A and B are shown apart, each in its own frame.
Chain A
Amino acid sequence: MFAFIIRRTLQAIMVMLVISLIGFSIKSNIGDPVRDLVGERVTPAERAAIADKLGLNDPFFIQYTRFVKNVLHGDFGTSLIYRKPCLEVILKHAPATIELVLGAALIIILISLPLGVFSALKPKHLFSRFIMGFSTLGVSIPVFLTAIMFIYLFAVTLGWLPSYGRGETVDIFNNGYWNSGFLTIDGLKHLVLPCISLASIMLPLYIRLIRSEMMEVLETEYIKYAWAKGLSPKRIWLVHAFKNTLLPVVTVFGLQIGIMFAFTILTETVFQWQGMGFMFLEAIQRADISLLIAYLVVVASVFVLVNTLVDIFYGFINPTVRIAGTK
């Protein structure tokens, strides 16, 4: 077991090194960060001096080893546009994105479960057909279009909801990191449209998934047996069938949450939501390479860490994984 853990950890470290190397090698293609720091009138000589001070002119290998050394000391560099440590910038933007994803996930769960179950139980019902048709439409509309349509309908025309930003937030830990929009009415109002837009990408998928899983389960022997036994329909549907429907759905949901984080870039841009996706785009547009690389490394390390832990736990639960690995 010990050897297995060591092996997984070494693999994780290798992955991190490769990711940081890839991040580093694209940085020269993003643009010149010095350009964004200075006005257009600054002479090329002055710009070269700034690039020198930032160490941008050093050979690739020296820059890279310096970066790795600093990261090992917990220093991810300083963001050029925010003028603050990258890690602090990323951590301050993370809660906004997490709240957005959380809100969207909540909406997906609350809507897809009843709709999916209903359309599985009554597949010929008019409402079920409507749901299926609507979900096809939902899959095919890109998220930014949905978002802009929502803004024009609910913010501009009807005036029910705010059009952009996070509104009033509360600093939960009083240290400036986690500003939550969940605790104020204004913050919640601001959450509605972005969360629905983000949810709109995944929602149709889940309705269809739940429907087909549920329909499959309803055909199984044990459900037939339950009918024969004379159990009430409610009990068969909600206790026996529904529970078994959920297993694959939860697995897919776990996998898709990561993808949802990626989709936040579009949603955050349209709603000017100050989260990580917004920050990432800003960093690309203004060629803040320090922040970009730090972001890549931080996000990658979160994924690698979670995956490694899962793998190790899996090794405990299912020894065949360990054995297979040694061959």
Chain B
Amino acid sequence: MPEVPAILRRGLPWLLLALAAAAPAALSGYDLNLLARFMAMAILALGLVLVWGHGGILSLGQGVFFGLGGYAIAMHMKLADLPAGEMPDFMVWSGREALPLWWAPFGSATFAIAAAILVPTLVAALFAWAVFHRRVGGTYFALITQALALAFATLIISQQDATGGFNGLTDFYSILGFGLASPRTGVGLYWLTLAILCAAFVGLRWLTASRFGMLLRAARDGENRVRFLGYSPVPFKVVAFAIGALLAGIAGALFTLHAGVVSPALIGVVPSIEMVIWVAVGGRYSLAGAIVGALAVNLARDAVSSAFPELWLYCMGALFILVVTLMPNGLAGLLKGRAA
């Protein structure tokens, strides 16, 4: 592979950014919406680079944090469109008498946005701390996160009258007074997603280059060695995991805005592990790779599953097997010999 010329290497990100910013002018409303969804997923993928690539922590439950962010915003939108004192439609159909107490604060947009960001972060921090401070990690942690994804999705499905059950929450009309049906709102949300994606990219670049990133990688490669240098690896791993969840929560909120639905089918065991393949394809150590991987896998998924729905699971299975065995550093690893 020949060395990429410096001018191209430096210029390419800006060119791509300019293209992405101009996309609303070139794409149809449908395609723009699709791209915006995938970009939201790319935000989650960036978080996984920190958690999995740099931290060596495999999370098979990232959908939980995605879902927490998504449901927070969805609950707000369900309430915001209602006349005061009424309940969302599905609650009425389920025969509920009154709005559940924990729904009430989501009437406030500020509360809902804060919850979409903070709830996943805090849940993740507490969960990770409870496991890591007892020095349980690696495969055990991955298995426990998968159990978390299963328990979370099952819980949502079973509480039909309060969560919308299997169908999830859908039929939203507006956010902060902007009608979701309007193309201008779509474009605005697209730019918002792009801006957050860029901010997450720049922020994580800084973080992974900082001493924090250095210690996180050090703890990944030799947890005990780091302890014997006088550091506790626990806070580094917990903070990295919480940042991953924060980005997943934001991604979930944005995705819900674009897709107009959030449901257990998007956040359970299978979708959660699918999120890992985005990053595996792009390259687990590469932030740019994660964005490319998230976009590419989701595009492929969209194309394959609309034509041959049964085929996609074979594709994904094969993708897992082949990427992990043959190109553990993903697309980014093909570009350079080794990424760190």
Do A and B interact?
Answer: no
Residues of A within 8 A of B (CB): none
